Structure formats: C-alpha cells, structure tokens
A and B are shown apart, each in its own frame.
Chain A
Amino acid sequence: MKVIKIDKKDWAGGLGKLSDAYRLFGPVKDKDVSDFKELAAGELPDFDFLNTNLSAKSAVFPQNEVMFEYSLDESQEDHHIMKEPEKDYSPRAVIGIRPCDAAAFLLVKRNFDTPEYKDPYWIRAYEASTFVGLACNDPGKTCFCTTAGCGPFHEDGLDVLIADAGDHFLAKAITEKGEALLQAAGWGAEADGGQIETMKKAAEAKISSTVSTDSLKDKVTTELYDASFWEDTAFACLNCGTCTYVCPTCWCFDIQDENYGKAGIRMRNWDSCMYPLFTIHGSGHNPRGTKTQRVRQRFMHKLKYYVDKYGAGIQCVGCGRCVRLCPVNIDIREVCEFMNSYDPAATTCKAA
C-alpha cells in the first residue's frame, strides 16, 4: 500500500479533521507517566515516550466496563432483568499505538472472538477501532519484540504505520480502514516507501534483547509444570497484579454487580492470576493457593498453554513492560529461557 508524507505542521490540523469522524485515543503524559486516554478536543497525542506505562489494551478493553444495567425496584416492569446499556461504538482511532500493542490485539482476539462464543463488548470496540501505529525508531533495552513474533515496525494488527522522520512523518496505509483514515485527515502527499524500510532495518538492529521460544511447543506440559525452577523463580514475587495489568496480552477479568440504591450495574474489571481470589472455590479450597502456583500459571499460560492451544506462538509481544515495572525484577525473558531449555532428564540426573 502507498506511503504518505505528513509534514509535522499539518499533523495537528489532520488530527483536528479526524476528530470529526473518530473518537481519538492517544498517549498522554501525566506526571512523567504516559498512558492511553481518550483525547480531549484539540488535545494532541504526546509522542515523547518509549512506551506507555499501561498498554493500549484499555482502548478496546477498559479496566472497568459496564456489561448490563438493571433495576431492583419491583414497581418497574423489567425489574431484576439485565439490560444492555447504550454504548458508543462509533469509529475510534488509536493514534500512536506501538506496533507491539497492536499485534497484541490479534493474540487477544483469539480469546474474545471464538467459534463458539463472541464477546460482544470487546469485538464491537475492536471493530470500531482504527489503529494508527507509531513505529519505534529507538526501541528500549527491555524490548524483545523481534524474537516475540513482532518488531519495531511490525505491521500486523495496525491499519496505519507512522514513522517519525524528523520534520515529517511517513505514514503507510496497511488496511483499507487505514487508508480511509488518512484520507479523512486530508494527508495525501505521496512519498517514497523505501525510507521506511531503511528505518525499519536500523530500528531492528537496535534490539539487543531476545528470547528463545522454539522448543516450548515440544515440552510436555506436566513436566514443565513440575519443573524445579518455579520455586526460585517465584520467590521474590509479591503477587501484585502489576505485570498482568500493564501487559497488552493479559485479558483476564472479573464480573461484579454494583448496586446504587434500587439500581445497579453488572460490570467487568481486569483481574489477575496473581491474586488468590482469582481461583478460590466457595469451599475455601484454592487450586492455585500458593504464590509459586500463581506465578507458574502466568508464565505457563503465556509461554506454554497458549502456544499449545492455538499453535500460533507465544502470548507475548515482547513489549518489556512487565520487566520494567515488576517491583522485584522478575524477568519473563529469564523465565522463558528456563522453560525453553528445560530438560527434565538433566534435572533428575543432577538430583540423583
């Protein structure tokens, strides 16, 4: 598809035009921390970031989301019956999403959009979205996207890829949705696509951090599960939910009813496999009652169960957020290495 040149002086104007047709989401800085927010009228996305603290998943899958509304007032005709609320699924554009976050939506889609069940909230929001990616010219030290099925200029999952070329942006339309967005913004000056390729190579060469995932699919689940390294890996873990909340590919949620007098909402909130409450039975029994079990679940899910379930690689795009933000420095790259190179025979011999 064609590549467009956007002069930086035309950037704000184009976004202004877009805001007529789209709800705009973008990275916004607040007290040194960048996160995706819905942009206020005239507000510009702030591109001065390595990556946002939280991933862009909230643009489609908000941390708290209303599923239903209800009335508990028995004088009402439809009391105690769940009603779907009116929601705004008008077109939205997520401006400045990193390629890894966009690729993550494709991984997550396998969970929300299945042959048997369709999650209407996620799918509607996803389908309403046009993802305008911001390529990473200077990926970080904790970025390992290129070995996690992704990359600093990765296009899958994006509708437009934008690269910052100094005084102008280069924008590559990847899908028809993307092309429509560029048109709506009034950006049309064609440019040479070759420059993006050059920038891409340079950016990829800067990635210094890697993971190996080739052997994961061949491991026996129960052997990996019983591996001896989990205890040491999990030791430092505080069982906070930081890694799961900042992760673009973590999708787990809880469902809660919240009442306000005679009315209320059924909502869903992000949940985390790090919390004991996530799995505890009514009887008090908890199949993942210990910290080690919960840490193992997180990594096994991302690096083994997902791999086996979909045959489409790991459930990780290498954004490095969990590595950067873990309060005790538990590093998925290390754990991935343990798992990928795990040899039960070797461990047994050593012990014997």
Chain B
Amino acid sequence: MLGYTDKIKEISERLLKEGKVDMVIGFKKGTMPMMNEPCVIKKAEDAGKLVWDSNCGINLANYLTDRKEKIGIIAKGCDSRNIATHIVENKIRRDQLVIIGVPCKGMIDRHKIASMSETEILSVTDAGDEIIVKAEDSEKTLKKAEVLQKNCAVCTHRNPVIYDELVADLVEEQKDADRYADVREIEAMSAEEKWKYFDDLLAPCIRCYACRNACPLCYCPTCFVDESRPQWVGKSTDPMDTRTFHFLRAYHCAGRCTDCGSCERACPAGINIRVLTKKLEKDCFESYGWEAGLTTEDRPPLDTYKLNDPEDFIK
C-alpha cells in the first residue's frame, strides 16, 4: 500500500482547498505500534497528518452517523459497504459525501502479532507484501498474508463498492476464500457442544460494549441494553446476561454486517465475536442471496421479502 498515503493527502488537500468538503475523515498515526487513530481534518494544511497502512482497521463509516456537513471520507472495501448501508438506512446522504476509495490488501491482526512476540513490540511497518516487526531485542519480517485480520483473510470485497476518488488502481479480489469455515465447524456441533463453545467464548467479556460501539451499524438512540421498561437484559457480567447481550447485538446486525472486523479488533478481551455475526451473514447469503452494502438501491433482507422465502421450520 505504499504511495497510498501520499495520494490520500493529495486528494484530501485538494478537496478541502476547493471547498468541496468541510472535513475529511481518515486516520492519523497513532502513539502505539499497530494503531492508527481515526481523525478529522478540517484545514487543507493539516491534510499532511493523514496516513494509510495496514493498521487502519477501524471502520470509518462509524463516524458518519447523522452528520450534517459535507464530508470526504477515506474508505476501504468494508468501509464503503458500510457507507452504502448508512445511505440506505438514512444515516447520511450520498450527496454529502466525497468517498475517497482505497483498494485494500487487508489489515493486520494486532492481537495475533502481539502474541507472536516474546517482548513488547516497538514498531510495525509496512513493506509491500511484508511487514517488519521490531521488538525490544529482535526484528522480524513477516508475510502480511499470514498475519491478516481474520476477516481480511477471507474478504471478497477489498475494493470500495462506491467511490468518487480512488487512491490507486483496483486490486484483484480474493476468489477462493472459504468465508464460513469456522461457522460450519460450529454448526456441525451438537446443541450441548455449541452451548459450551459459546460459554467459553464469551467468558472473558467485561460488558464494556467496545464491540457494539466500534460497529457502524450500532447507532440506535437507545440501545436495548439501556432500555428499562422492560429491561431485556441484566447489567452484570452474569453469563446469561452476557450471552443475551451478544445474541441480540449480533441479531441487530443481521443482513447489515459487512464483516469489517471492527468489533473484534476493538474487543479488549480478544473475543472472536465475529463467529456470531458471520452466522447471520452466511444465512442471509444462503437464504436470500444477500450481501450487505453492495448497492444503495436494494432494500436489506429484513426490510423486504419474497413470496417463496424458505419456511421449512414453520409448521
């Protein structure tokens, strides 16, 4: 992704200078290795702060919700799909946006790379298809493809689906990715095993809601966890409450989730929460032929129906 940053700066500066947008939403370099911080640039002379590398995993569509300004936004494939979803759900208007598309080669898994190093990591830099990991007493070169975020490894929409500017030529899409291997593995378990699997998966959850808040789909004015009349779910870390929270959180993303991986990336407890949203993604694809965020024309699957939708489960 070399050269992306320069192009992003150039486009952003131009858009701001020409007054085409009031702000550009992008990433600036973080204070930590493998972390870039979402930021907003309002002046052309500040466009130089913008960066792009393999650490831009947070979904920027999250920062668009209900904004009124004219906005330039940097968008990799998944961001662009969530922007499309935002447009469909009336959380932003298309004509407010100048989408600066980024053909994406995947983001790296910061949890995974951190756990691969004995000592604290000092810096991680992109070098083409490789990344260089510097730690206290070592320097390692890793194949980027081997340390991608799990969702990126199976991504089939790396290129932005809608855009007004493009920072580089489109990249080749991954063709033979097996998107749902992990879901199938769980589906094959017995009810008992499934129950145990999720008990174990969700045990470290501290109910901080980072997964919910990192998700561009979660913008309800009052989340179901905050409703008190009636109260749907308890507030403690009781396993049943935690499970109810994760069930409903995932379900609210049904037919809308683009598998951008923000939830998992944000989770401070390192929980692989995508196995929940991916199940719904898979079902939507298999039952209704639906992939979220590919167009701004079609209604999402729970907002429409076909007369002959499958109903084997109904007596």
Question: Do chains A and B directly touch (beta carbons under 8 Å) in the complex?
Answer: yes
Point out the residues of chain B lying under 8 angstroms from A167, CB to CB. Answer: none
* B214 proximal to A (CB < 8 A): yes
Q: Is the interface of B mostly helix, strand, loop or mixed?
A: loop
CB distance from A14 to the nearest CB of B (A): 28
Docked-complex contact B214 and A64, CB < 8 angstroms:
no
Q: A219-278: which have CB < 8 Å to B?
A: 232, 235-236, 238-242, 245-246, 254, 256, 258, 267, 269, 272, 275-277
A331 to B31, CA, bound (A): 7
Known contacts A140-B120, A328-B38: A269-B236 contact under CB 8 Å:
yes
A239 to B208, CA, bound (A): 9
Task: Name, among A64, A267, A272, A334, the residue most crowded by chain B CB atoms within 10 Å (CB to CB).
Answer: A64
Number of interface residues of B (CB under 8 A): 37
Q: A26-56: which have CB < 8 Å to B?
A: 30-33, 35, 50, 53-54
Docked-complex contact B236 and A241, CB < 8 angstroms:
no
* A90 proximal to B (CB < 8 A): no
* A108 proximal to B (CB < 8 A): no
* B63 proximal to A (CB < 8 A): yes
Point out the residues of chain B lying under 8 angstroms from A30, CB to CB. Answer: 203-204
CB distance from A210 to the nearest CB of B (A): 13
CB distance from A268 to the nearest CB of B (A): 9
Residue of A nearest to B121 (CB): A141
A330 to B208, CA, bound (A): 16
Docked-complex contact A141 and B268, CB < 8 angstroms:
no
Docked-complex contact A232 and B31, CB < 8 angstroms:
no
CB distance from A209 to the nearest CB of B (A): 10
Docked-complex contact B120 and A53, CB < 8 angstroms:
no
Point out the residues of chain B lying under 8 angstroms from A246, CB to CB. Answer: 268
Known contacts A329-B32, A330-B37: A242-B208 contact under CB 8 Å:
yes
* B253 proximal to A (CB < 8 A): no
Docked-complex contact A240 and B235, CB < 8 angstroms:
no
CB distance from B122 to the nearest CB of A (A): 7
Docked-complex contact B268 and A327, CB < 8 angstroms:
yes
CB distance from A141 to the nearest CB of B (A): 6
* A147 proximal to B (CB < 8 A): no
Docked-complex contact B210 and A64, CB < 8 angstroms:
no
Partner of B39 from the list A32, A63, A232, A323 (CB cut-off 8 Å) is A232
Known contacts A63-B237, A241-B209, A269-B235: A327-B214 contact under CB 8 Å:
yes
Point out the residues of chain A lying under 8 angstroms from B204, CB to CB. Answer: 30-31, 33, 35
Partner of A238 from the list B30, B40, B115, B210 (CB cut-off 8 Å) is B210
Point out the residues of chain B lying under 8 angstroms from A245, CB to CB. Answer: 206, 208, 268
Docked-complex contact A240 and B214, CB < 8 angstroms:
yes
* A199 proximal to B (CB < 8 A): no
A64 to B236, CA, bound (A): 6
Docked-complex contact A329 and B236, CB < 8 angstroms:
no
Binary CB contact string for chain A from 284 to 323 against chain B (1 if under 8 A, 0 otherwise): 0000000000000000000000000000000000000001
CB distance from A100 to the nearest CB of B (A): 16
Partner of B40 from the list A142, A232, A242 (CB cut-off 8 Å) is A232
Residue of B nearest to A277 (CB): B226
A269 to B38, CA, bound (A): 30
A269-B236, A324-B32 are known; give 16 further A-B pairs, CB within 8 A.
A33-B204, A50-B120, A63-B206, A63-B237, A141-B122, A142-B32, A238-B214, A242-B208, A242-B210, A245-B206, A245-B268, A246-B268, A272-B208, A323-B32, A327-B265, A327-B268
| Ranked 8 nearest A-B pairs via Cβ | A327-B266, A240-B210, A64-B236, A329-B30, A238-B213, A329-B35, A236-B38, A240-B213
Interface residues of A (CB under 8 A from B): 30-33, 35, 50, 53-54, 63-64, 140-142, 232, 235-236, 238-242, 245-246, 254, 256, 258, 267, 269, 272, 275-277, 323-325, 327-331, 333-334
A to B CB contacts below 8 Å, 22 in the list: A54-B206, A63-B236, A64-B237, A141-B120, A141-B122, A236-B39, A238-B214, A240-B210, A245-B206, A245-B268, A256-B235, A256-B236, A269-B235, A327-B58, A327-B210, A327-B265, A327-B267, A328-B38, A328-B266, A329-B36, A329-B37, A333-B31
